[in-house]
Chains A and B, each alone.
Chain A
Amino acid sequence: MIKKIFLVGNPNVGKSVIFSRLTGVQVISSNYAGTTVEIMRGFLKLGRQEFEVIDLPGTYSLEPGSKAEEVVVSMLNESSKEEIAVINIVDSTNLERNLYLTLQLLETGLPVVVCLNMCDEAKHHGVSIDTALLGEALGIPVVPTCAVTGLGIKALIEKIENVKIVSRPKISHRERWQAIGEIVEKAQHLTHRHHSLRELLEDASVRPFSGALIAAGVIFAAFKIVRFIGEGLINLIADPVFVNFYQPFLDKLSLALRPGSFLHHLLIGDLVDGRIDFKQSLGLLTTAPYIEFAMVLPYIVAFYLVLGLLEDIGILPRLAMLLDNLLHHIGLHGFAIIPVLLGLGCNVPGILATRNLESRRERFIAATLISIGIPCVALQAMIFGLLGKSSGFYVSGVYLVLLVIWVVLGVILNHTVKGYSPELLVEIPPYRLPSFSTLWKKLFLRIKGFIIEAAPLVLLGVLIINVLLYFKLFGLFTGLFEPVVQGLFGLPKEAVVALVMGLFRKDVAVGMLIPLALSVKQLFIAAVLLAVSFPCAATFVVFFKELGFKDLLKASMIMCLVALATGGLLNFLIH
Chain B
Amino acid sequence: MKKTTLAQMKANRKGVVFEIAAGMGLQNKLMSMGVYKGREIVKISHVGLRGPVAIKVGRSVLVLGHGVASKIEVEVHD
A-B interface pairs (CB < 8 A), number: 106
> Which of A61, A101, A173, A424 contacts B63 (CB under 8 A)?
A424
CB pair B33 A173 closer than 8 Å: no
CB pair A334 B29 closer than 8 Å: no
Of the listed stretches A131-139, A206-214, A268-276, A554-562, chain B binds A206-214
Name the prevailing secondary structure of the B interface residues.
Answer: mixed
List of A residues within 8 angstroms of B30 by Cβ = 425
List of B residues within 8 angstroms of A423 by Cβ = 64-68
Distance from B25 Cβ to chain A, minimum over Cβ atoms (Å): 6
List of A residues within 8 angstroms of B51 by Cβ = 208, 324-325
CB pair B34 A97 closer than 8 Å: yes
Distance from B60 Cβ to chain A, minimum over Cβ atoms (Å): 5
List of B residues within 8 angstroms of A207 by Cβ = 11, 44-45
Task: Tell me the B51-68 residues at the A interface (CB within 8 Å).
Answer: 51-52, 54, 57-68
CB pair A325 B59 closer than 8 Å: no
Please, what's the 1-or-0 string for B1-35, where 1 marks a CB less than 8 Å from any CB in chain A? Answer: 00000000001000000000000011011111110
Name the prevailing secondary structure of the A interface residues.
Answer: helix
Distance from B72 Cβ to chain A, minimum over Cβ atoms (Å): 11
> Which of B36, B44, B47, B64 contacts A425 (CB under 8 A)?
B64
CB pair A61 B32 closer than 8 Å: yes
Chain B residues bordering chain A, tally (CB within 8 A): 33
| CB-CB nearest in chain B for A96 | B58
Contact A65:B44 (CB < 8 A) given known A177-B36, A428-B61: no
Q: Does A426 contact B (CB under 8 A)?
A: yes
CB pair A97 B60 closer than 8 Å: yes
CB pair A317 B63 closer than 8 Å: yes
| CB-CB nearest in chain B for A65 | B29
Q: Does A51 contact B (CB under 8 A)?
A: no
Please, what's the 1-or-0 string for A30-69, where 1 marks a CB less than 8 Å from any CB in chain B? Answer: 0000000000000000000000000000001101011000
In the assembly, what is the distance between CA of A96 and CA of B57, in Å? 10
CB pair B63 A321 closer than 8 Å: yes
Chain A residues bordering chain B, tally (CB within 8 A): 34
List of B residues within 8 angstroms of A174 by Cβ = 36
Q: Does A505 contact B (CB under 8 A)?
A: no
Q: Does A94 contact B (CB under 8 A)?
A: yes
List of A residues within 8 angstroms of B36 by Cβ = 173-174, 177
Q: Does A83 contact B (CB under 8 A)?
A: no
Distance from B29 Cβ to chain A, minimum over Cβ atoms (Å): 5
Q: Does A333 contact B (CB under 8 A)?
A: yes
List of A residues within 8 angstroms of B47 by Cβ = 208, 211, 321-322, 324-325
Q: Does A107 contact B (CB under 8 A)?
A: no
CB pair B46 A320 closer than 8 Å: no
In the assembly, what is the distance between CA of A321 and CA of B60, in Å? 15
> Which of A65, A173, A324, A325 contacts B25 (CB under 8 A)?
A65
CB pair A97 B33 closer than 8 Å: yes
In the assembly, what is the distance between CA of A174 and CA of B68, in Å? 21
Q: Does A203 contact B (CB under 8 A)?
A: yes
> Which of B26, B31, B50, B62 contacts A428 (CB under 8 A)?
B62
List of B residues within 8 angstroms of A333 by Cβ = 65
Task: Tell me the A92-122 residues at the B interface (CB within 8 Å).
Answer: 93-94, 96-97, 100-101
List of B residues within 8 angstroms of A185 by Cβ = none
Q: Does A427 contact B (CB under 8 A)?
A: yes
CB pair A206 B44 closer than 8 Å: yes
CB pair B46 A208 closer than 8 Å: yes
In the assembly, what is the distance between CA of A203 and CA of B60, in Å? 12
In the assembly, what is the distance between CA of A207 and CA of B45, in Å? 6
Can you show 8 pairs from A to B with CB atoms below 8 A apart?
A60-B32, A61-B29, A207-B44, A321-B54, A324-B63, A325-B50, A334-B52, A425-B63
